């Protein structure tokens, strides 16, 4: 800690605390994330190191920059750029944004995801709470706790990560998924920025899963045709038909606005997700999708919801007023927004 002055707490959560700080003998303002090691499993600490390794290799104006990391006896400390604000807070304060502002944010999110996907990295937890605002309103994607760097022969994933309100149909149905799940989440975020709520919104996880899988999006009258077309592409239920790379960059809503940083050759990255698959890799992907497809059985997401309901019902047993075991809206909304 001899390299930094700790100034004030700016955030707190299950992971630990985030402080505003300043590098000693300099003017650079930073954010310091203190993550306690005590009480964490070996798997959690391993995942934390994986997150740090992923962040260390990312260099993009719309991705929060990791500057340093080190350990003390009791904590892991991650030092990043300091961002002025949060996109989620703007939504809380303003309710929604005009389309031209959403378009500016869209171009920056697309730029950040293009860079990640070109590095064969999936974010897996795209939501307004994980988007910070730097100087002059520059968007900064953060929180790579669920991110996954995929090997050259891994074409799809099956582990369920993310936040229910922003999960794609294939995720809530626990089918194998790829980078297009991130793109669905971007569609949900942009829709929420413009409308004020995500495209599929309810306090019941059972109803939410049904809405995401089966319901059509309700479009506001004020939306322009080009923006609607862009969101329709991102919010396609079938991931094979979803707007993706490289065509996404040419869509009129973002064309010419996206900063494309492609350093795949420099990093020796083969087969980035931002290019079309060769026939051989497409065949490999289809084989993996088929072999990893879920067998019958209730979704873990719904099992988790039932478990939360049971826990809530247990808490209410000692009270005189009973609510038939349904979870409180506040509790369930917290889970829908924050996941896991």
Catalytic residues: 125
- Spatial distance between the Cα atoms of 301 and 128, rounded to a whole number of angstroms: 21
> To which H or E segment does residue 77 belong?
strand 75-81
Map tokens 């005189």 to a residue: 320
CA 19 – CA 11 distance, rounded (Å)? 7
What are the counts of helices (DSSP H) followed by strands (DSSP E) for the chain?
10, 10
The candidate with the shortest Cα–Cα distance to 129, out of 187, 172, 185, 89, is: 89
The answer to whether 33 is a known ligand-binding residue is yes
CA 35-33-145 angle, 5° bins: 70
* In contact, 194 and 105? CB cutoff 8 Å: no
Cβ count within 10 A of residue 40: 16
CA dihedral sign, ordered 204, 127, 148, 33:
negative
The number of beta carbons lying within 10 Å of the beta carbon of residue 47 is 14
Tell me the binding residues: 33
| Binding site feature residues for ATP | 33
């Amino acid at each position: 800690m001899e390299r930094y002055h700790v100034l004030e707490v700016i955030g707190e959560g299950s992971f630990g605390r985030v402080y505003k700080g300043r590098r000693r003998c300099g003017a650079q303002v930073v954010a310091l994330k203190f993550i306690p090691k005590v009480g964490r499993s070996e798997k959690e600490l391993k995942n934390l190191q994986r997150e740090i390794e992923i962040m260390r290799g990312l260099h993009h104006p719309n991705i929060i920059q990791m500057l340093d990391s080190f350990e003390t006896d009791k904590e892991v400390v991650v030092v990043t750029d300091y961002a002025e604000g949060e996109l989620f807070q703007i939504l809380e304060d303003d309710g929604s944004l005009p389309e031209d502002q959403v378009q500016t944010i869209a171009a920056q999110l697309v730029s950040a995801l293009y860079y990640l996907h070109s590095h064969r990295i999936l974010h897996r937890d795209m939501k307004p709470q994980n988007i910070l605002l730097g100087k002059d309103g520059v968007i900064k994607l953060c929180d790579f706790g669920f991110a996954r760097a995929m090997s050259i022969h891994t074409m799809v994933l099956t582990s369920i990560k993310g936040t229910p309100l922003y999960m794609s149909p294939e995720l809530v149905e626990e089918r194998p998924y790829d980078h297009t799940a991130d793109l669905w989440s971007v569609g949900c975020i942009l829709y929420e920025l413009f409308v004020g709520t995500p495209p599929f919104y309810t306090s019941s996880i059972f109803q939410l899963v049904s809405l995401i899988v089966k319901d059509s999006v309700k479009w506001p009258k004020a939306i322009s045709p080009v923006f609607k077309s862009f969101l329709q592409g991102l919010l396609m239920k079938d991931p094979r038909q979803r707007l993706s790379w490289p065509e996404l960059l040419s869509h009129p809503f973002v064309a010419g606005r996206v900063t494309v940083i492609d350093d795949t050759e420099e990093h020796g990255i083969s087969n980035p997700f931002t290019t079309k698959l060769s026939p051989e890799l497409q065949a490999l992907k289809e084989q993996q999708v088929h072999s990893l497809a879920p067998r019958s059985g209730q979704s873990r997401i719904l099992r988790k919801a039932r478990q939360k309901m049971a826990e809530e019902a247990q808490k209410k047993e000692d009270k005189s007023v009973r609510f038939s075991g349904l979870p409180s809206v506040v509790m369930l909304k917290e889970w829908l927004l924050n996941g896991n």
